[in-house]
């Protein structure tokens, strides 16, 4: 995975696809993503590049360049799921002096999962939505 | 899928018939994510009597991308027009699709669970107590 | 040690300290000139032994200035105290507590960037949390939360689309903030 050898992609079943998910856990939503990986019996595997970047948690202005760089270094085809209100649009912290109002201000997002935090099952539903959009030809890959 | 607890907060449903556009939910929402537009109409009551003014709802939208599921709107509504529903699977490909308008909020009513039973070991509500004592005086 | 005897002991150790006990918690107000001496005395005296640094922050008291507050704890005696001093708004400077408590380093950096208080003698007062290029001191009460001023409040409309009868203000926006 380039400069991030310690990043571990997790294998999630999603319909007829198997998606390799890299979780960028920035705040509380990260706990729900971990719970989702346990419920889906997902397996972490080192060294496998990710198909899907799940941004879970509040994106602050200080952290923004790191996320942009991480996205740029992912190999194609790549997809992004924005998980939780903060990643969707700033969430309850939309009025803060140093919160980016949504990760889509920086990188293109394919699926938005609402919730504060969303249930772990909502992530699995988000992955299903992503898989069906790929299937429908709306997204590449 | 999963067995959800009865008071799960998944999405908010609107019973439009109960809503009087009092704006309390829009004002109390900490995230400013409820959008209400309304206008006044004059209504003649069917049995005669003077005409009255009612508020007619034009737009009622909740932006679930911003919503933090605190429940203040559901609690503060004086007319019980908002209800919690445990549905959570409504992820969308576009942020704009996460703003649910009136018709979509009405659809969620189908998944609103019935209110929980009263606690049998708890205190008897005043209305029930009064009704019982009226039925069996002395 | 009961709070009242802790208060008495600290008053004896610190020049010009004024104790205040609220809800079982002791706050000692000290003059700014004796800030480092007060923290050192509270730490070193075996009777108080307030040697565990908890946190350091500030409160914006508008025209009166800034209250810089230090929270310390004693692991041996299991009592805690707040030390508080006031710096004027026109000259917000205070001696750094880093020689007394090494842990105060990052707390003073955060207090500096959030309130604009300068800590003389601090080894490196660089911003800690704010992104580079950020202007202003966010936790000061006169720092305008621009997002709430700029976004139109959905609750400003009156029921039934009436003309607003009174200038309804959303929570958290004071009267004297300008609308764009």
For A11, A91, B118, B121, B138, the CA distances from B133, given in Å and listed in that order, are: 64, 51, 19, 19, 8
Average pLDDT over residues B118-130: 85
What is the ipTM for the molecules in this complex? 0.82
Among residues A97, A94, A59, the alpha carbon closest in space to that of C135 is found at A97
Q: Using CB atoms, pick whichever of A94, A95, A98 lies closest to residue C131.
A: A98
CA distance C10 to B75: 48
Q: Specify the residue for token string 């941004």.
A: A55
Please tell me the distance in Å from C159's CA to the nearest CA on chain B: 5
Using a CB–CB cutoff of 8 Å, tell me whether B64 touches chain A: yes
Question: pTM of the predicted model, to two decimals?
Answer: 0.84
| Contact across the interface for C159 and B39, Cβ inside 8 Å | no
Nearest CA in chain C to A95: C147
Residue B2's pLDDT is 61
Nearest-10 Cα torsion for A65, A31, B115, B29 = -30
For A76, B85, C113, the CA distances from C32, given in Å and listed in that order, are: 59, 56, 20
Give contacts of A 76-105 with B, CB under 8 A: 85, 88-92, 94, 102, 104
**pLDDT tens sequence across A60-75:** 999 999 999 989 988 8
Residue C180's pLDDT is 43
Pairing of strands A17-25, A52-56: parallel
- Name the neighbours of A, counting chains with at least 3 Cβ pairs within 8 A: B, C
Instruction: Give me A89's structure tokens.
Output: 């649009």
| Contact across the interface for C154 and B34, Cβ inside 8 Å | yes
Residue A49's pLDDT is 67
| Contact across the interface for A114 and B30, Cβ inside 8 Å | no
- Decide if pLDDT at C166 tops 70: no
State the best of A14, A35, A56, A85 to mutate against chain B, taking most chain B CBs within 10 Å: A85
Find chain C residues with C-beta within 8 A of A98's C-beta. 129-131, 134, 138
**C4 backbone φψ class: left, alpha, beta (φ>0; ψ -120 to 50):** alpha
CA distance C101 to A115: 42
Q: Which residue has the higher pLDDT, C144 or A126?
A: A126
Beta carbons within 10 angstroms of residue C113's beta carbon: 20
Please tell me the distance in Å from B75's CA to the nearest CA on chain C: 17
| Contact across the interface for C131 and A97, Cβ inside 8 Å | no
| Contact across the interface for C147 and A98, Cβ inside 8 Å | no
Instruction: Give me C108's structure tokens.
Output: 């003073």
Strands (E), C64-152: 66-73, 80-87, 93-95, 118-120
Using a CB–CB cutoff of 8 Å, tell me whether C138 touches chain A: yes
Give contacts of A 14-73 with C, CB under 8 A: 60-62, 64
Residue C157's pLDDT is 85
Lowest average pLDDT, out of A108-112, B5-9, B52-56, goes to B5-9
Among residues C123, C21, C102, the alpha carbon closest in space to that of C56 is found at C102
Among residues C49, C138, B53, B6, the alpha carbon closest in space to that of A95 is found at C138
Strand-pair partners of B87: none
Pairing of strands A8-14, A111-113: unpaired
* A93, burial (CB in 10 Å: exposed 0-12, middle 13-18, buried 19+): buried
Q: Specify the residue for token string 């002991």.
A: C9
Instruction: Give me B79's structure tokens.
Output: 């007319």
Q: Which residue has the higher pLDDT, B98 or B124?
A: B98
Instruction: Give me A84's structure tokens.
Output: 């939780």
Residue A1's pLDDT is 36
Residue C165's pLDDT is 65
Find chain B residues with C-beta within 8 A of A111's C-beta. 91-93
């Amino acid at each position: 995975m380039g400069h991030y050898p310690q990043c571990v992609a997790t294998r999630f079943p999603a319909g007829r696809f198997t998606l390799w998910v890299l979780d960028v856990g920035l705040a509380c939503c990260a706990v729900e993503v971990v719970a989702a990986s346990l419920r889906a019996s997902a397996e972490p595997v080192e060294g496998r590049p990710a198909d899907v970047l799940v941004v879970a948690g509040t994106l602050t202005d200080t952290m923004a360049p790191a996320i942009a760089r991480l996205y740029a270094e992912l190999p194609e085809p790549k997809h992004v799921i924005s998980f939780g209100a903060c990643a969707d649009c700033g969430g309850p912290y939309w009025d803060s002096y140093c919160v980016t109002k949504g990760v889509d201000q920086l990188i293109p997002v394919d699926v938005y999962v609402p919730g504060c935090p969303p249930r772990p099952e909502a992530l699995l539903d988000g992955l299903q939505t992503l898989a069906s959009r790929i299937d429908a030809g709306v997204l590449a890959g | 899928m999963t067995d959800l607890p009865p008071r799960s907060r998944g999405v908010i449903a609107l019973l439009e018939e109960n809503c009087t556009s009092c704006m309390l939910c829009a004002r109390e929402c900490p995230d400013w994510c409820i959008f209400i537009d309304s206008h006044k109409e004059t209504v003649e009551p069917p049995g005669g009597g003077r005409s009255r003014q009612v508020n007619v709802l034009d737009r009622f939208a909740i932006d679930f991308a911003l919503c933090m599921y605190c429940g203040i709107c559901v609690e503060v509504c004086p007319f019980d027009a908002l209800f919690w529903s445990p549905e959570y699977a409504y992820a969308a490909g576009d942020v704009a699709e996460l703003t649910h308008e009136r018709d979509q909020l009405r659809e969620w009513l189908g998944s609103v669970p019935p209110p929980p039973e009263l606690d049998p070991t708890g205190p008897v509500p005043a209305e029930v107590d009064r009704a019982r004592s009226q039925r069996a005086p002395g | 040690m009961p709070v009242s005897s802790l208060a008495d002991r600290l008053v004896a150790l610190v020049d010009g300290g004024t104790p205040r006990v609220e809800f079982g918690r002791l706050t000692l107000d000290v003059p700014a000139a004796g800030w480092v001496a007060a923290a050192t005395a509270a730490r070193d005296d075996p009777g108080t032994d307030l040697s565990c640094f908890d946190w350091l922050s500030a409160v914006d008291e508008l025209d009166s200035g800034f209250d810089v507050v230090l929270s310390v704890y004693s692991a041996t005696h299991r009592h805690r105290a707040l030390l508080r001093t006031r710096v004027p708004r026109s000259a917000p400077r205070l001696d750094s507590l880093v020689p007394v408590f090494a842990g105060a380093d990052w707390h003073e950096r955060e207090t500096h960037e959030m309130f604009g208080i300068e800590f003389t003698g601090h080894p490196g007062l660089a911003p800690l949390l704010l992104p580079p290029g950020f202007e202003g001191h966010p936790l000061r009460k006169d720092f305008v939360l621009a997002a709430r001023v700029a976004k139109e409040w959905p609750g400003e409309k009156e029921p039934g689309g009436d003309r607003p009868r009174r200038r309804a203000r959303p929570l958290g926006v004071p009267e004297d903030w300008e609308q764009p």
